[in-house]
Structure 1
């Protein structure tokens, strides 16, 4: 009896499945692209290839978001299980003995935008390591490092700081952010939303406005980046934000709008003098994440 001929089934790529899961979780191609450290066009190509491979449509797309089709919902369950099984298998061979607690500090904006993706990727590789995260202002995190209360810290430094400890993992520019099509920047005095005393972004923004002799008032004060963002999106104020933090619902404001240029700054990784092996693994994961981010932006 002859066996019927069946062509070999295609193998699913775990990297593509990770992108698929990220889109399903965020409901947005651009947000997912940031989470997996790829460009939006690369993410679109990955999903197109996956849909061609499976011969089904996985997402329903509209102008603002995407949602799963019934085929997409079916694949999502398989994708999560396949990724988890792959991570479990690899972790059995790559540094399986790593365990312990790593104390990591991060500035608020970094903790909101980048840390979730970094920790998620790290946790899947090293499930035995617990990362204890402290979110605070860069100045206070530096003090915690000096007091040996943290193993690692991701902090913001102005490029012209006189003392520059740590390793540069990313460089960015501070810009004025307003609501897209907003009018807050036209008001007099200018309403600004800034952080507490000690923040380098606050000092840079205030100094630049005072040099220009532009009247301003502090209309919102918070140490939380999400609160700053809410004030901007509500068109109640403008705020100094990293260029990389600007999203489609914001506008970058500058000289044309009568506002001064702001500074460039470094994101630096501070490490304790003697790092444990788990802490070194976390540090390497942070470096890799920022390297991938630079590559995706190039």
Structure 2
């Protein structure tokens, strides 16, 4: 039996723990210890009178009651945020400048812009889609307010969103991965994914040839859809017609890569802070979905 009102603080931590798939990562985000977060989840179970988590190996998964609560928790948090936004956003005007790689342009950007416009309708958003090195240079020069990036290492001043696996990506023609030498669709150097993929092939002593080199992520996706070869990327923004190859392809395993944000100022303006919050929420959901799909493969 539910004995009390559901507390927003508990629900916020609960949703974070599920989205980040970790009590420890959720603890970092809410500036609490992992034991404090565990106590919060126990408190939530006491209030609802339901078991919300069940152990699974070294991790955990939601019980059916936990799945039900998760849906309602998201709705309650969203309504709560809408109420706060309606009372505080008012008539802030000006410009915010966002930089992001092309991977996020089609999958996350429409949601991010729509949510931000609903809160700050008077604000102008300037979006720059470019290579990560270029974006970070523009951030340092003050030409961008916030940048979304991938990286093997996370800078100390970055806001970590999560980690996603780097994947070999082609189309449904499984035989392409068996070709010798392996036809690769490569992004122009320097490129993190290119370096990781080529290092893995070299370690596995697998021969390869460049079937296409492009400065455009869209160009690589198009070539992969056409069956010209295999590219190296994450599943972020993966278009229809492209598939992440499984371990049965015979290609070497690839590591995870971090997804994080960098801001120009340590104390950003309210509008930039709101944009980073929306970025974090939107991309966290995508990262979590990718990791769940990866576990099932």
TM-score by length of 1: 0.63
Matched, 1:146 2:135: no
Residue 166 of structure 2 aligns to a residue in which SS? Answer: strand
Residue 203 of structure 2 is aligned to residue 214 of structure 1: no
Structure 1 Cα separation of the partners of residues 202 and 97 of structure 2: 39
* Residue 135 (structure 1) aligns with: 129
Partner of 2:283: 290
Q: Residue 144 of structure 1 aligns to a residue in which SS? A: helix
Q: CA deviation at 1:241?
A: 2.1
Distance in structure 1 (CA, Å) of the matches to 2:231 and 2:127: 26
Q: Quote the offset at 1:285 in angstroms.
A: 1.5
Q: What secondary structure does 1:235 align onto? A: coil
Give 1:125 deviation, angstroms.
2.4
Please, what is the CA RMSD of the aligned residues?
2.6
Matches of 1:123 and 1:186, distance apart in 2: 47
In 2, the alpha carbon distance for the partners of 1:163 and 1:126 equals 29
Contact residue 102 and residue 131 of structure 1 kept, 8 A: yes
Of structures 1 and 2, the larger Rg is shown by 1
Aligned partners of 1:181 and 1:251 also within 8 Å: no
Query: 2:177 aligned to 149, 163, 185, which one?
Result: 185
| 1:218-257 CA distance string (max 9 Å, x none) | 1112232221111111111111121344466333325432
| CA distance in 1: counterparts of 2:285 and 2:160, whole angstroms | 15
Please name the residue that 1:240 is paired with: 232
Question: Where in structure 2 are the equivalents of 1:242-281 lying within 5 Å?
Answer: 242-246=234-238, 249-273=241-265, 274-281=267-274
Which of residues 69, 94, 110 is equivalent to 1:100?
94
Matched, 1:124 2:118: yes
For the pair 1:231 / 2:216, whether they are aligned, the reply is no
Q: Say which SS state the counterpart of residue 168 (structure 2) adopts.
A: strand
Q: Distance in 1 between matches of 2:243 and 2:286?
A: 22
Between the aligned partners of 2:289 and 2:166, the Cα distance in structure 1 is 20
2:158 corresponds to which residue? 166
Q: Provide structure 1 residue ranges, at least 5 long, that are not aligned to the other structure.
A: 1-88
Would you say the 8 A contact 2:104–2:236 is kept in 1?
no
Give the deviation of 1:148 after TM superposition. 1.9
Q: How many equivalent residue pairs?
A: 209
Q: 1:104 and 1:231 mapped to 2: Cα distance?
A: 28
Once the two structures are superposed, the pairs formed by residues 23-102 of structure 1 within 5 Å of their partners are 93-102=87-96
Superposed displacement of residue 170, structure 1: 2.9
What SS class does the counterpart of residue 268 from structure 2 fall into? coil
| Shift of residue 163, structure 1, vs aligned partner | 4.5
Could you tell me whether the CA contact under 8 Å between 2:172 and 2:242 is conserved in 1? yes
Distance 2:288 2:242 in 1: 24
SS of alignment partner, residue 183 of structure 1: helix
Distance 1:242 1:296, change over 3 A: closer
TM-score normalized with structure 2 length:
0.63
**Distance change in 2, residues 1:92/1:250 (3 Å):** closer
Contact 2:221–2:242 (CA<8 Å) still a contact in 1? no
